[in-house]
Structures are given as C-alpha cells and as structure tokens.
Structure 1
Amino acid sequence: MAGGSKTRIHASLVSTLLLLLPLASAIHRSDFPASFLFGTATSSYQEDVELMNSLGVNAYRFSISWSRILPKGRFGGVNPAGIDFYNKLIDSILLKGIQPFVTLTHYDIPQELEDRYGAWLNAEIQSDFGHFADVCFGAFGDRVKYWTTFNEPNVAVRHGYMLGTYPPSRCSPPFGHCARGGDSHAEPYVAAHNVILSHATAIEIYKRKYQSKQRGMIGMVLYSTWYEPLRDVPEDRLATERALAFETPWFLDPLVYGDYPPEMRQILGGRLPSFSPEDRRKLRYKLDFIGVNHYTTLYARDCMFSDCPQGQETQHALAAVTGESNGLPIGTPVKHSFNKKSTSIDASRGFGD
C-alpha cells in the first residue's frame, strides 16, 4: 500500500473513533446481538487488513476497481492480475474473521467505455455493467455473501452530470461551465436511468445464475441527506417532500415500486426517462438490502413561485436548502482534534464532503 493511502485510512478511522469517544464508556459489544456486524469501509485500492484486525471489526466494505478487472470493459479480456489481487484480499480478511462486503463500483469506470459510447449516457452501459458483475460473481462469489452494485450513485450522477465536479465533468449553466459540455437539466436523469437499469441487469444475473448456489445477498448503497421544513408552513413542508424525492427515492422508487417518485414526474415531465416493458420485467428482481450513507440534515424552503438559488443541487426540486434557521445551525457543531498541530474536524459539515 502506498504511504498516502495508509495515511488516509488511518485518519479516517481515527476521526471516527474520536467522534465516538464520549459514548465509548457507555457502549459495549455485549449490548448488541451476536449477529451484529461492526465494520469499516474504504474505496478502490485502499486497505489495511492488520489495522482492521487490531480494531476487532468483523466486517469490511470495499469496492472493486472495474478497470482493474476489465480494462476495456466487454471489448477486451479479463485482467488476471486484478482477479488475483482481490482473491488475495478476500482470503486475507476471511482468515481474520472479517466478512467482506463488496461494492462493484464506487464511481470509477473503464475509460474505454467513456470513449466508445459516452458511458452512463448510453444504454450500452447496461450490458457492460452486467458483464462486469457476472465476472465478479463468478470469481469471488463463493466467498462473498454481501454484494453492493453501486455506492452513492445519486452523488456520482449529480456531481458528474449536473455540477461537473466529478468525472466525466459534464455540466451547463447555471450549475457550472464545463469544458466537456453537457446539459445539467437533462443528462443527470439519463445517466441515473442507465445506472438503475444497470443495477437491474446485475441483480437479475445474480438471482438467476448465482444466488441459489452462493447463498449471498445483493443491494445498493445510497447517499441520503435528510431535510426538515425551514418554516412550519404547508409550502415548506411540500418543498421538503420534493427535496427528499430527488434524493434516495430517485433511485429506490424504481427498484421498489417500478417508477420514479410522482414529484419528479410532475416537475421534470419529458426530461425524466420512462421504463419499457422489458425494463419493468428486470425491475421485478428486488433488492435484498438497502444501504444508507447519511452525513447531514438541512432545512428546505419552497421556491416554486420565487427565484430558486441558481446552481443548487435541489434547484430542480423547486426547493432551496440551508443549514441555518434564524442564524442558528440545524445541529450543534462538534469539533475534535487529532493533536495540538492537526486540523480540527467540524462534524456539523458531514464527513466525506
């Protein structure tokens, strides 16, 4: 492991432990059922098996680098070195009594697919993601019992195709001025549609081909901001519902109910893609679990009939959001420092931002 990677995971784990220190004396493992899993998580190549073992955790969620397994997607062969790397990692953590929770993709994608057809903006990506998932289920599924198709796809889509701050860095005013172009008002919903159907493709493959033999579970992990009405008035309560609909229900409603939230349909109209009969057939294969990454809560106010703050993530939901009401933050800022020379952590802003 590179030195910088080890530093990042150490800092992440230490910051988490520091936040728990005030509660540590009141919480014991015996307070939880024997089946409860205490774990850590990293993305892509970062890992430190001995550190996790020393903490006494019994679960570890990590992501597989798609490019490491299939550098050219379905247009090239499987990279045996990539398969070997993850086999060794899975075997190593199992020897320590740590259960692997494997995420198929955490934002990264083979450049080949972006160059060939525009990645998540093209329905071809569904076949590529299905192929990638099939390879991983076949290579690692005899030992992996918990699969996550995507980590925070609602973040990846918004930042990649609305705000332009994550690859492939596509956006348009008022959200940004991206050199690669884009359409912040339409492309996020096309990309999300292909993510949802790629998930459906992978979950169908797992349930039809592998689950009965491997006896594992498969789900999705989403980013979730909670919203509270800024004012106790009907307009802000409805704005809160709209803001929430454009968060996790954007991805979960199609997987659970077969279509997007009605609030999104009403606002976006034709910008929101529709599901074909074949799409709906695939969506019948349901999630075994839902993962939630929750970092922060914000206030929401209605801006349906007044100017919404331009370029804000909730602009399409006709909601304006803020972390303060009458000059007071929605939560109490909590700060911890590693040592006298280190930078303090402001927990009110949320980790991972």
Structure 2
Amino acid sequence: MMLRVYYLLIVLLNLAAAIFCADKYSREDFPSGFVFGPGTSAYQVEGAASEDGRSPSIWDTVSYEGKMDGATGDASVDEYHNHIFVVMIMYLQQEDVKLMAETGLDAYRFSISWPRLIPNGRGLLNPKAVLYYNNLINERISHGIEAHVALYHYDHPQLIEYEYGGWLSRKIVKNFIAYADVCLRKFGDRVLHWTTLNEPNVFLLYSYDVGMLPPYRCSSPFGLNCSQGNSTSKPYLVFHHLLLAHASAVRLYRKKYQGKQLGFNGINLFVYGTFPLTNSTEDVLATQRATEFLVGFTVIHPNPVVFGDYPETVKKNAGLRLPAFTIQESKQVKGSFDYLGVNHYVSIQFKDNSASLNSEHRDYRADMAAEMIFDVDNSTFEYPIHALGMQAAQETSSFEDTSRVKYMHGYVESVLDAIRNGSNVRGYFTWSLLDAFELMGRYETCFGLYCVALSAHWYSQFLRGKPVGSDVFIQLGKHFSPLSASS
C-alpha cells in the first residue's frame, strides 16, 4: 500500500511540474451569492429506467432498437438508488450528495424525468417519482446545496411520440404546461431556479435535421439514421412549439406561483464561440448569419425571448417553412425569462457558403449558408454561464487529466474577468459531477469531475477558498486525498 501511495505522489508531482504556472485567484474573488455546482440530466444519471412506474422516454426506445451501439441509460450511475460507484485511488462507494458537499459545491443542476413523473405524458402522477424527487431535493438542501431544476432535457415520454409525434404537434404545448404545473406545485416551495428547456437550439438541429439524437426524425440527403421526418421544415416547426411551450410555462409560473415561491424562470441555450475562418467580407457575413441561426434564433440579437420575433435573416432564408407568431404569441414569448442559462463547450469557425441558398430544397443548415469548422481550442464567451465541460477519453487515467485542470482554470478565471468587466453572471455549473451516459459519446467519453480525481481536487481546492493556479498540485504533497475536500 505504501508503495502504491508513493507511486501516486510521484505521478502527481511529475504532472505538476509540467503544468504552466498561471496567475492565481480564489473563490473569495467572486461576488457574494455566486454559486458553483455540477450539472446532470435525468436520463444520463438516474438509471432505474423501467422501475417504479417510469415509462420509456424517446431515449429508451432508440437505445433498445440498437441505434446507440448497444449503450443505454438503464443503469448509468444509478442516482435513483442513491449509490454512486466512484473510482478514485481504489473502488469506493459514496453517495453523490455527500461527494458534492465534500467538494464544496453550492448547487446541483439536474432535470426531472417527464416519463417518470407522469408516465403517460399527461394525467395521473407517479407517487414514487414524487417521493424520489422530494428526497433528492431535500437531501441536497440538508447539505447546503441548492436545487436548480430543468423541466426538459430531451426526454419526453415515448407514448406522446407515438400518439401525435411529440414536438411535431402543437398538442405537446398543452401537455408540457400540465407537466410544468405539477413540478412547480410539488417542488417549487424548495426550488428557486427553474429552467424550462435545455438547449432547444441543439435539439432542433440534431434530432430533427441531421438525425444524430432521438427521436431521429430527418430526411435524405440531410440526415442519417432516420426512417421518417422532413429536415427542410420540421426543425422550424419543432422549435416554434418549443418556444411556445417555454413561454407558456413561464407565464404559468409568473401568474400562479412566482408571487408565493419567489423563484426565477429561465431557458438554457447552447452557445458557440463564433469566428470567421478568414477576414474576408464573405466569411464575416457568413459568421453573422450562422450566429443568428445557431444562437440568435433564440437568445441573442433580435430574437423571440427578448423582442418577440425571429431574426430577420432567419425569416428571410427559411421563408414559409418558419411558422409566424401571432400578435398574442409574440407578446407571450417576449421577455419570457428571468435569467438566461448558457452552455458552452466549443467554438466554430465559419466559411461562406452562399451557394447553398440557390437550392430550393434545403435544410436548416443550408439556410445558414455557412460551412462550420469546429475549433475546440478557440473558446470565448460573453454571456452568463450555465454549464461548461470538457470531455476526456475513457482510457484517461484518474490522475492524468491535466488538460481538464487547465481548461477549468482558464474558464473560471474568464468568468471572473467577465464579472469584473460588468457582466451579470450569477453561477458556474461544470458538466458534470460524475462520468455518466453522455448523449453524444455514450460511455466512451468522460465529462465527470469524478472519477477523474485531479480536476475534482483542483475544483475542490478552489471551492474551499484556496488560491489556485493550474500549478496547484505542486503543493499537495503527502496530504493529497481525492475524496477529502479538506486535505
């Protein structure tokens, strides 16, 4: 055992020597009330997919059909049973809430499973689900951890997908409002921060255009792995229904609950850093178009939740395929947020592709008239941060995630810079606490602070108020214990 500990310390010291020594900062540099936490979603961490009355979601269906290479969320990290198997120096069992408390986190961002709470999509509640979420919320509060809840994270019940096509039908808006009403009524006395939708701008593209996520509705030649759908028009229809559902849920909260519960409503977007590939006028204009489609379609520039309408470029290029808001809908969507959540993982460079507009048969991507070139290293952000994350390969050793330490150090420092420059940023949620089922990478990629101990310890040192740089591990010495936040 002594030999093993000695070996681990040598590894840590060798890694530390290779890490660039940056300027240090501490948690005390952030404003009072600023919260730090991890983010998760129901299907990715809960497990117990067919237990205690839960019905299949659209994710369960496609996983059982073999569309995800045999991977499923049937068990994942089994949060439903409140036992997390964490890999550190050795295999240990520890409840996730205690792990969060020991790490020094303030909040936990998670989603509620619609098919667990209301298995048929509407109608009768599942009492075991109510008990589970009450326990989850109460246990975290008892450890000083705020509950930040998302109502929808890509996982509506398969039953309503079968019945009327899910988000393809306006019927889902009414069902979503009823579902939101249950959540607000049952849990809103203890939950102050509600997110209606997680990344609807990603959902429309990957689920209804290119067919990379459930329910795999797309059409040739734009999408792959789809047996039904229409990539040219359905993404716009789906997004319109998503926005109406969001705005209706916010209206419900403000009218019925906010005065008593004193909480806040928001929407969460995937925001890219956008840059032109070259300084040419064509690429600069292409970047502006792409930003309006990928981000401004929802939250930046002239857009629905701020101004009550879609960006002009989007309306022009999409034409009649984009549904129009009625006067009443525009008023309801406009201003339908108390805060904006931003997920940021990647930046993109754009190259002009105006020629795509010459085709009469084109999809959402072709309407952008810009070619996307991903660049994960050229990352910036200008908006309040809701979740950030960096993936590691499954084979990564528990003590070799130095790149993640640099990533987190750089991003937390940049959030601090943004605050100092006047940005009204209220929290930072890293994705995620534990390695789990990832929606794109399944179990092949790892976003968790645990079981990757080095970044978890860096984050814990920072959250405990210690000044940190990316060279923090030089100071660890023999006191290093990845499960002990006080070491």
For normalisation by structure 1, the TM-score amounts to: 0.84
Instruction: Give, as a single letter, the amino acid of the residue that structure 1 aligns with 2:397.
Output: N
TM-superposed CA distance for 1:244, in Å, is 0.5
Aligned counterparts, 1:131-210, within 5 A:
131-210=178-257
* 1:295-314 → structure 2 map (5 Å cutoff): 295-305=345-355, 314=365
- Structure 1 334/128 Cα, relative in aligned 2: closer, same or farther at 3 Å? closer
Which structure 2 residues correspond to residues 29-44 of structure 1 after superposition, within 5 A?
29-44=27-42
Structure 1 residues 150 and 235: alpha-carbon distance in aligned structure 2, compared to 1, 3 A threshold: same
> Aligned partner of 1:88: which letter?
N
Per the alignment, residue 77 of structure 1 pairs with 124
Aligned-partner Cα distance in 1 for 2:188–2:398: 46
Q: CA deviation at 1:82?
A: 0.6
**Partner residue of 2:159?**
112
In structure 1, the partner of 2:382 is none
Query: Is this contact kept in 1: 2:307–2:334, CA < 8 A?
Result: no
Which residue, 64, 73, 93 being the options, matches 2:112?
Answer: 64
Alignment-derived partner of residue 214 in structure 1: 261
Q: Is 1:279 matched up with 2:329? A: yes
Structure with more relative contact order (C-alpha pairs < 8 Å, separation 6 or more)? 2
**In structure 1, how many angstroms separate the alpha carbons of the residues matched to 2:157 and 2:22?**
42
Q: Contact between 1:192 and 1:251, CA under 8 Å: does it hold in 2? A: no
Give the Cα separation in 1 of the matches to 2:277 and 2:328.
42
- Per-residue CA deviations over 1:14-34 (Å, capped at 9, x if unaligned) read xxxx9xx86898231211122
Query: Residues of 1 paired with 2:97 and 2:32: CA distance?
Result: 22
> Which residue of structure 1 aligns with residue 274 of structure 2?
227
**RMSD of aligned C-alpha atoms?**
3.1
Secondary structure of the corresponding residue to residue 141 of structure 2: helix
Q: Measure the CA separation in 1 of the matches of 2:38 and 2:293.
A: 28
Of residues 319, 327, 339 in structure 1, which corresponds to 2:397? 339
- For the Cα contact (< 8 Å) 1:154–1:223, is it kept in 2? yes
**Which residue does the alignment assign to 1:3?**
none
Amino acid at match of 2:201: N
Conserved 8 A contact 1:68-1:79? yes
Residue 49 in structure 1 maps to residue 47 in structure 2:
no
Over 3 Å counting, the alpha-carbon distance change for 1:222 and 1:50 in structure 2 is same
2:316 to 266, 269, 277: 266
- Quick check: 1:225–1:296 contact (8 Å CA) kept in 2? yes
Aligned residues between the structures: 326
| Superposition deviation, residue 71 in structure 1 | 0.6
Q: 1:26 aligns with which of 24, 27, 31?
A: 24
Partner SS state of residue 114, structure 1? helix
CA distance 1:23–1:288, change in 2 (3 Å): farther
Name 1:15's counterpart in structure 2.
none
Once residues 34 and 21 of structure 2 are traced to their aligned partners in structure 1, the CA distance between those partners, rounded to angstroms, is: 18
Deviation at 1:316, TM superposition (A): 2.2
Distance 1:294 1:87 in 2: 30
Answer with 1 or 2: which has the greater Rg.
2
1:322 maps to 373
Note the residue ranges of structure 2 that are not aligned, 5 or more in a row: 1-15, 47-76, 80-95, 380-389, 408-430, 432-437, 441-487
Q: Aligned partners of 1:227 and 1:279: how far apart in 2? A: 30
> Aligned equivalents of 1:79 and 1:53: distance in 2?
29
Q: CA deviation at 1:255?
A: 1.2
Q: 1:322 corresponds to which letter in structure 2?
A: I
CA distance in 1, matches of 2:163, 2:131: 28
Range with greater deviation from structure 2 (109-118 or 273-282): 273-282
What are the Cα deviations for residues 267-314 of structure 1, in whole angstroms up to 9, with x where unaligned?
111111101133123224520000000111111111103699x99974
CA contact (8 A) 2:114 2:156 kept: yes
Determine if the alignment matches structure 1 residue 239 to structure 2 residue 286. Answer: yes
* Mapped partners of 2:117, 2:392: distance in 1: 40
Once the 2 structures are TM-superposed, how far is the Cα of residue 225 of structure 1 from its aligned partner? 1.3
Residue pair 1:219, 1:291 contacting (<8 A) in 2 also: yes
State the shift of 1:112 in Å: 1.5
CA contact (8 A) 1:174 1:311 kept: no
Shift of 1:339: 2.4
Structure-2 separation of matches of 1:32 and 1:169: 42
CA distance in 2, matches of 1:132, 1:345: 41
Q: Match of 2:228, SS? A: coil
Q: Deviations over 1:226-250 (max 9, x none)?
A: 2111111211111001110111221
Quick one: percent identity of the two aligned structures? 39
The 8 Å contact of residues 71 and 110 in structure 1, kept in 2 or not, is answered as yes
Change (3 A) 1:157 1:314: same
Q: Which amino acid aligns with 2:239?
A: A
Q: Distance in 2 between matches of 1:25 and 1:228?
A: 27
**Whole-Å separation in 1 of the counterparts to 2:356 and 2:214:** 32
Counterpart Cα distance in 1 of 2:106 and 2:32: 11
Q: Is the 8 A contact 1:151 1:222 kept in 2?
A: yes
Gaps of 5+ in 1: 1-17
2:342 aligned with 1:292: yes
- CA deviations on 1:169-224 (whole Å, 9 max, x unpaired) are 11112222444311111110000000000001100100000000000000011111
